[in-house]
Structure formats: C-alpha cells, structure tokens
Amino acid sequence: MKILVPHTIHLDLSPITDEVVTYEVDQSIPDEHTDADVLVVWQNTADNLRDAARRLTRLRLVQTLAAGPDSVLAAGFARSVAITSGRSLHDGPVAEHTLALVLAAIRRLDTLLEAQKSTTWDRDFNVAQSAPETEQLYTLDGARVTIWGFGSIAGRLAPLLAALGASVTGVANSAGERYGFPVVATSELPDVLKTTDVLISILPATPATANSLNADILAALPRTAVFVNVGRGATVDEDALQAALAEGRLRAAALDVTKTEPLPSHSPLWATPNLIITPHVAGNRPKGSSALVLANVAALKEGRKLTNQVAGPVL
C-alpha cells in the first residue's frame, strides 16, 4: 500500500511497513505517485486537492487532519474514495484559544491594549467593570453561554466555561444532552439567543451553514452580547457583523476565522470597532495525528469501520 503524507507535518508511521512518500501540498502530485492508495491531507491548497482528486485514480482513502473536511469534500474525489476527518485532533488547542478569545472579549482586553499603547491608565474601564449596573458584562461568572455546533471541541470547552461560573447551553441539529450539558435543536436557537450573553460558533462550513450568523441572528441577541467564531469564516455574514459592531448593536466580537484567509489588508474588518481578530491559530496543532492515520490505514486493510468517516463507501 502506498501512503502519501504532506510535508507540512511530521507523522510517525514507523509501525507500518507500507511505502510512505512525502509530497508538497502546494504542487501537483508527481506522476510516479499517482498510484497511491491513501492520501493524508494537511494545509493543502485547493489546486493541489483538485489535482489529486482528478489524477489519483487508485485512491481508497483521503485522511484530512483538519477538524472540518470541507476543503476535501469540495475537491471532487470519486464516490468510491472514503474520506475521514481529523475530528478530535484539535479539541484541546481550539478549546484553549476559544476560552482566551471569550475572556479577552468579555474583559475587553482590546480596549485595555489600546490604552496601553497610548500610555493611558484607563480609569473609565475600572469604573465600568466594578459598577453594579455593568459589572456582570465583564465576567463569565453567571454568564449564559451558547455554543452553536456542539461537537467534540464543545465537549472540551464547555467544562472550562462552567468552571468559571458560566451556564452553558449547546445548539445542534437535534436536542438532548451531550458531555453533560443541555443541547437544544437549531430550531430553538432564536429563543435561546434572547438570553445569551456569549455566543460561540464552532459550526463547520457546509452549504447549510453558509452565513448562519446573519442580521436576523444578530438582531435576536442582546446589545450587550459577545460573539466568538472559531468554526469557519463561511458561516458568518461579515457585513452584518461589521454593521452590528459599528452601530453598537453588539458589544464585542472575536474572530479566529474569516471568509477570505489571509484576511486582506484592505478588509474593513481590520478597522471594525470592538472586534478582535486572530489569524486562524486556534487549531493548527493536530494532536494524535499519527495514531489516527495508523488506525485508519489498519482499518482500511482489514475492511473495518473507519474513524471519523464523512463520505465514501462504508466498510
């Protein structure tokens, strides 16, 4: 079996004796390796993936190390190719970064940083965060947090928020309980938003989730609410978000992902007030990648169920 692995990450596949070949993720697959059985994907360009989908006609498995498989699903691989995601590989790093963004937005570290740059001791901030009528805006203790997209990352994040005193509710396609937290169906989201202090989106990019955070959703949130997106940029109507922040209809927001990445220097998002932007760094450190690849290669050989399969024939 020939396994192609990207040059963008070190994988320890020494336990197997198969042929393992490293390839460049921003170039066409060399002709001598188009007979590969397995393609491991990490930070590949769209052109590279489309080229692989067209020319690697013997492929049986595409293993992406990204939590969201949207770029692989869009590349046009044959239906006979099994596609598996990197779900769970990013849970810890993304949960940490999300918590950091939530706290930064609530505690308004962006305004404090601006005060620092201007050598200003911000007395107004001190008054606001300690005044009885506004102090609740500056803490997670007692805050009502809604996590939209309640998968494994949310399962890691929710207990961290709860440990700081937040009341956490999840939103998913179906209602129930996950990881010990209540989850409501997506149809109930408008009602939940009315009492939400912090809305966190971990939605994947699919046709159904495009621009999910739109003007209507933003209007349903209290003006004092905070929005954080660590899912995919395609899920946010950036014009609507920018308008809500500029007009004071949303207290603050933090984005780790945007529709266009890298975010162009001319994007109005850079200058949008009350907005924190980080350059898609929440994940990018897939933990346990080698073990996942080894497990799925072994399963493929033995005709067993693949881990995190999202498309293709079921073994």
296 and 212 in a common domain: no
113 and 62 in a common domain: no
Separation CA 54–CA 48 (nearest Å):
10
Separation CA 110–CA 105 (nearest Å):
7
229 and 212 in a common domain: yes
pLDDT of residue 212: 97
Q: What is the CATH number of the domain that holds 63?
A: 3.40.50.720
84 and 104 in a common domain: no
pLDDT of residue 98: 98
Scored b (16 or more CB within 10 A) or e, 105-121 reads: bbbbbbbeeebeeeeee
240 and 129 in a common domain: yes
What would the pLDDT profile of 53-71 be if each residue is shown by its tens digit?
999 999 999 999 999 899 9
Residue 202 has pLDDT above 90, yes or no: yes
| Overall number of domains in the chain | 2
Mean pLDDT of 124-135: 97
What would the pLDDT profile of 68-119 be if each residue is shown by its tens digit?
899 999 999 999 999 999 999 999 999 999 999 999 999 999 999 999 999 9
What would the pLDDT profile of 168-197 be if each residue is shown by its tens digit?
999 999 999 999 999 999 999 999 999 999
85 and 175 in a common domain: no
pLDDT of residue 284: 86
Q: Is 142 helix (H, G, I), strand (E, B) or coil?
A: coil
Domain assignment of residue 73, given as a range? 2-89+286-311
